[in-house]
Amino acid sequence: MKNTRIKNALILTLAAGLFLMAGCSKKDTPGQTGNPIVDPPVIPPVDAKTDVTMWLTKGDQSALLAKQNIALLFSTATNSNTTIAVDTTITYQSIDGFGFCLTGGSASVINSLPADKKDALLKELFATDDTHIGISYIRISIGASDMSAGDFTYDDVVSGTDESLAQFSIDKEKTDLIPVLKSILAINPQIKILACPWTAPVWMKINTLGNNGFTGGSLNTSYYDAYAKYFIKYIQAMKAEGITIDAITPQNEPLNANNNPAMVMQADEEANFVKNNLGPQLHTAGLTTKIIVWDHNADRPEYPIAILNDPAANPYVDGSAFHLYNGNISALTTVHNAYPAKNLYFTEQYTPSTGSFAGDLNWHLVNLIIGAPKNWSRNVLEWNMATDAAYGPHTNGGCSTCQGALTISGSSVTRNVSYYIIAHASKFVRPGAVRIASSELSVTPNVAFKNTDGSKVLIVFNTGSSNATFNIQFNNKIVTSTLPGGAAATYVW
């Protein structure tokens, strides 16, 4: 009997233990009953196998330089779609790069960021790996531009003149511009830098209009030699800071008297300055800095042609630079046809604070990112890299509606339309690339390049309002893609 009682007690104890174990196995969630819930395993997305990668920006901003996870495979199949034929056997100009104008105001708002955020932002802008946009060309001002907090040159005097340039100093740039440039060069030591003045020192000018002489006026012929020396001292001073100036233009917008700062320089004046002063002084100083003339709108191609027509000025001139506030981008080809051995550059275009993302994306992609290289430009630069939330800093009378590629407010950074305009090229088309042939199409304008590593890049914009389906043809094979209306795409293979 005792053994039976012990046996029954053991059975009851075992049963109770099993019951308790079953209770403990349930997930400890209020009201939870039944089997325990087990989270499903996280399965990372698998990139589609593709021959061509596609990066997309839509006018409605639902895609912003977004890599598309789709299969774009070349095949020998045929269809009736419109075709963009890309041909690497037909080559045009080499490419120097894509980027922005790093104004003094841009440098100041970038430099105002907390150190960690500033470093991360500059890496995003100038590094060349997969997660950054690889800006490869920048333009800076010699002295103040209209997007500086105030007017200044590097030789301002209270009264009289300073022909020996004894008071020349770039110290005003050591607060923001030079530190930012040094940070950029640490990321990309090969970046090209173009520099240009908005005005000469006021004491060198005659017939000025206002803003204490910084607006309007022209260069007094008595000071041509001193002004050339001013450029030499600037290039040497920047070099002493570890900053190489690849090229200069003698004057920003030389037919615009009304900006602040500004200075007028007619074509014959610029030719005389280049051939008699600036060119010879650069040569004597042993400097290889390029001279690029004009640096103004495409409505006056006769201006750079007049300088290039001057047999004494021509040898000193590397090429001509353009903006597109007036005129047609095809004017660059007019200059190229007149002087095919001379280079062409596109150095400025703003996006207004009053514009729309979709409208600016359309106009700038078609006319600049596609249009300028298709008309022989070696680069494309958008205007101001960064502004504060009030579209500043700017001078009194300077641009008050110039939207930066970045808006910086405190530690916050907003990426605006021109960021994506430039990134669609800068991220993929590297310095040393060459433009190659691609079909001329009205609804899907495009431009193609071949990088030094052999990769091909095709940039396409759909000017229509509905989807455009087309073929990309290369080496007798095609891949078919659909691009939404009002969207930009960069294809790489």
Do 333 and 375 contact (CB within 8 A), yes or no? Answer: yes
DSSP string, 214-283: TEEEEE-GGGHHHHHHHHHHHHHHHHHTT----EE-S-SSTT--SSSS--B--HHHHHHHIIIIIHHHHH
Query: Across residues 186-207, what is the average pLDDT?
Result: 98
Is residue 20 scored above 90 in pLDDT?
no
Mean model confidence pLDDT for the chain = 93
Query: Which residue's entry shows tokens 């100036």?
Result: 245
Give the least confident one: 18-32, 94-108, 312-326, 346-360: 18-32
Ramachandran assignment for 82, one of left (phi > 0), alpha (psi -120 to 50 degrees), beta (any other): beta
Mean pLDDT to the nearest integer, 283-306? 98
Burial of 333 from C-beta contacts in 10 A (0-12 / 13-18 / 19+): middle
As a whole number of angstroms, the distance between CA 401 and CA 355 comes to 10
Tens digit of each residue's pLDDT (9 = 90 or more) over 349-397: 999 999 999 999 999 999 999 999 999 999 999 999 999 999 999 999 9
Q: How confident is the model at residue 44 (pLDDT cuts 50, 70, 90)?
A: low
| Spatial separation of the C-alpha atoms in residues 394 and 122, rounded to whole Å | 22
Q: Are strands 446-450 and 456-461 parallel, antiparallel or unpaired?
A: antiparallel
| Identity of the residue numbered 388 | D
- Length, in residues, of the chain: 493
> What pLDDT sits at residue 166?
98
Model confidence over 112-145: pLDDT tens digits? 999 999 999 999 999 998 889 999 999 999 999 9
Tokens 């095809």 correspond to what residue?
330
CA quadruple 110, 112, 113, 118: dihedral sign: positive
| Residue 10 CB contacts under 8 Å (≥ 6 apart), including other chains | none
Task: Categorize the per-residue pLDDT at 47 as very low, low, confident or very high, splitting at 50, 70 and 90.
Answer: confident
377 beta partners? 344
Maximum C-alpha span of the chain: 131
Structure tokens at 469: 């389906």
pLDDT number for residue 131: 87
Q: Which two tokens stand for residue 308?
A: 């290039």
Q: How many Cα atoms are found within 13 Å in the side-chain-facing hemisphere of 282?
A: 23
Across residues 279-284, what is the average pLDDT?
Answer: 98
Report the percent of the chain where pLDDT is more than 70: 91
pLDDT at residue number 41: 64
Q: Is the pLDDT of residue 1 over 50?
A: no
Q: Which whole-number Å values give the CA distances from 56 to 74, 214, 269, 295, 358, in the listed order? A: 19, 44, 46, 32, 13
Query: 3-state class of 343 per DSSP?
Result: strand
- The CA distance from 9 to 395, in Å, is 95
What would the mean pLDDT of 262-275 be, rounded to a whole number?
Answer: 98
Give the active site residue among 124, 253, 270, 382.
Answer: 253
Kindly state the average pLDDT of the residues 245-253: 98
187 vs 133: CA distance, rounded Å: 12
pLDDT at 5: 43
Residue 323 has pLDDT above 80, yes or no: yes
Task: Report the pLDDT value the prediction gives residue 18, as an integer from 0 to 100.
Answer: 33
Q: How is 305-322 classified by DSSP, letter by letter? A: HHHHH-TTTGGG--EEEE
pLDDT at 129: 86
Q: Stretch 311-316: mean pLDDT, rounded?
A: 98
pLDDT at 193 over 70: yes
**441 and 466 in contact (C-beta within 8 Å)?**
no
Average pLDDT over residues 194-216: 98
pLDDT for the residue 34:
42
Task: Give the model's confidence band at 13: pLDDT under 50 very low, under 70 low, under 90 confident, else very high.
Answer: very low
* pLDDT tens track for 424-446: 999 999 999 999 999 999 999 99
Which uninterrupted H or E stretch holds 140? strand 137-142
Give the per-residue pLDDT at 10: 37
Find all residues with CB under 8 Å of 377, minimum gap 6, and list them.
Answer: 93, 322, 332, 344, 345, 346
Overall average pLDDT of the 473-480 stretch: 98
Q: How many CA atoms within 13 Å lie on the side-chain side of 236? A: 13
Catalytic residue among 124, 173, 270, 348: 348
CA proximity to 262, closest of 304, 320, 203, 210: 210
Distances in Å between the Cα of 394 and the Cα atoms of 109, 245, 410 are: 12, 24, 18
pLDDT at 22: 39
Q: Torsions phi, psi of 329, nearest 5?
A: -60, -20
Q: Is 440 a catalytic residue?
A: no
Global pTM? 0.91
